[in-house]
């Protein structure tokens, strides 16, 4: 085996007239590995790329379930701030209500809280925009969740008055015999009480205003009348008790008003008396000063006349 011919050194780059370094290409057999020096500037430390997790996707059904769950919990706390345990309950309620919704995913308490904050911020923006266009009209918006948030943000309404239930003993016979009877008293002591009393019972003289048409009543009266009679008596006792209570309250109010007026009158009299004494003192001082000055003038004139007479 013949020794391989010595490799010729690679030609050195020759500077060009324009200052550009040109390198001559070598044959493939003459290529040698070239070790480059390490750069002077340290390379920056490679940090793992942090990928931001996109926010969860809320469907309309999930958002409505969140609004309803938050509204129930918020109103149960008298519109107070929700704590971590309350938000956990809201998240559980949202998951329970949205379990049949296609595409629904479980939501955490933090996600629910952030979503509610965004909804309320959007509601305030829509409401301000609506009021800026029409300040006198009610706020409105094409946003689908605006009515739900608006109903939640409204102040609590007073409970409606309870309807008066009438007592019926027979659905078929007594409906035609009943009419409305108003138990009234003067406007000062009247509360506007209304009671429904059967006409037949009222005509038999329950209140003692009409004479008894039957002087010999049956020893066994109709048992259907006794419950209605008891109801009428109870209502009458209730009305009388209410009237007495209102009269006592009005009497106490009149007594308090009378006491207040007397105290006010005494205070006014004391103020007027003090002012009168001050005026009398000032006037008396002025009159006394005038008298003193007048006496001094008289004395001076008398002394002058005496001196003139002596001279």
C-alpha closest to that of 58 among 114, 19, 20:
114
* Distance of alpha carbon 66 from alpha carbon 81, whole angstroms: 16
Instruction: Kindly tell me the burial class for residue 292, based on how many C-beta atoms sit within 10 Å of its own C-beta (0-12, 13-18, 19 or more).
Output: exposed
Q: Report the pLDDT value the prediction gives residue 219, as an integer from 0 to 100.
A: 47
**By the 8 A CB rule, do 177 and 199 touch?**
yes
Structure tokens at 183: 């138990």
Alpha helices in 77-169, H assignment, sequence order: 84-97, 109-133, 146-153
C-alpha closest to that of 144 among 61, 69, 55:
61
Residue that wins the pLDDT comparison between 306 and 39: 306
- Whether residue 25 is predicted with pLDDT greater than 80 in this model: the reply is no
The answer for residues whose C-beta is within 8 angstroms of residue 109's C-beta and 6 or more apart is 84, 87, 88, 90, 91
Q: Report the pLDDT value the prediction gives residue 11, as an integer from 0 to 100.
A: 47
Confidence of residue 104 (pLDDT cuts 50, 70, 90): confident
**Mean pLDDT, residues 42-64:** 66
Give the rounded percent of residues in the chain with a pLDDT score beyond 70.
59
Q: Report the pLDDT value the prediction gives residue 189, as an integer from 0 to 100.
A: 43
Q: Report the pLDDT value the prediction gives residue 136, as an integer from 0 to 100.
A: 83
- Whether residue 16 is predicted with pLDDT greater than 90 in this model: the reply is no
- Whether residue 178 is predicted with pLDDT greater than 50 in this model: the reply is no
- Least confident range from 50-59, 110-119, 133-142, 215-224: namely 215-224
* Distance of alpha carbon 231 from alpha carbon 165, whole angstroms: 12
Return the domain boundaries, the chain: 60-153, 159-213+225-266
Q: Report the pLDDT value the prediction gives residue 78, as an integer from 0 to 100.
A: 86
Range of 110-124, 169-183, 221-235 with top mean pLDDT? 110-124
C-alpha closest to that of 59 among 90, 95, 85, 109:
95
* Distance of alpha carbon 154 from alpha carbon 75, whole angstroms: 11
Q: Report the pLDDT value the prediction gives residue 160, as an integer from 0 to 100.
A: 62
Residue that wins the pLDDT comparison between 105 and 270: 270
* Distance of alpha carbon 141 from alpha carbon 129, whole angstroms: 9
Q: Report the pLDDT value the prediction gives residue 184, as an integer from 0 to 100.
A: 45
- Whether residue 3 is predicted with pLDDT greater than 50 in this model: the reply is no
């Amino acid at each position: 085996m013949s020794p391989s011919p010595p490799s010729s050194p690679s030609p050195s780059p020759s500077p060009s007239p324009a200052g550009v370094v040109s390198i001559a290409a070598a044959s493939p057999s003459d290529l040698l590995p070239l070790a480059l020096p390490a750069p002077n500037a340290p390379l920056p430390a490679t940090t793992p790329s942090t990928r931001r997790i996109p926010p969860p996707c809320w469907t309309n059904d999930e958002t409505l379930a969140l609004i309803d769950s938050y509204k129930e919990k918020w109103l149960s706390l008298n519109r107070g701030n929700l704590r971590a345990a309350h938000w956990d309950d809201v998240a559980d309620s949202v998951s329970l209500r949205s379990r049949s919704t296609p595409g629904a995913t479980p939501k955490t308490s933090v996600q629910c809280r952030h979503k509610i904050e965004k909804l309320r911020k959007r509601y305030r923006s829509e409401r301000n925009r609506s009021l800026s266009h029409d300040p006198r009209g009610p706020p409105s918006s094409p946003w689908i969740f605006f009515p739900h948030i608006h109903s939640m943000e409204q102040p609590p309404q007073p409970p409606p008055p309870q309807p008066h239930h009438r007592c019926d003993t027979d659905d078929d016979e007594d409906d035609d015999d009943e009419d409305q009877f108003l138990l009234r008293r003067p406007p000062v002591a009247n509360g506007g009480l209304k009671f429904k009393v059967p006409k037949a019972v009222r005509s038999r003289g329950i209140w003692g205003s009409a004479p008894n048409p039957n002087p010999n009543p049956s020893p066994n009266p109709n048992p259907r009348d006794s419950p209605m009679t008891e109801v009428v008596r109870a209502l009458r006792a209730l009305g009388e008790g209410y009237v007495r209570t209102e009269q006592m309250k009005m009497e106490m109010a009149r007594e308090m008003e009378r006491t207040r007026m007397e105290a006010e009158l005494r205070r006014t009299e004391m103020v007027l008396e003090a002012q009168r004494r001050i005026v009398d003192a000032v006037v008396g001082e002025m009159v006394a000063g005038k008298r003193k000055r007048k006496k001094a003038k008289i004395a001076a004139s008398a002394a002058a006349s005496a001196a003139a007479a002596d001279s």
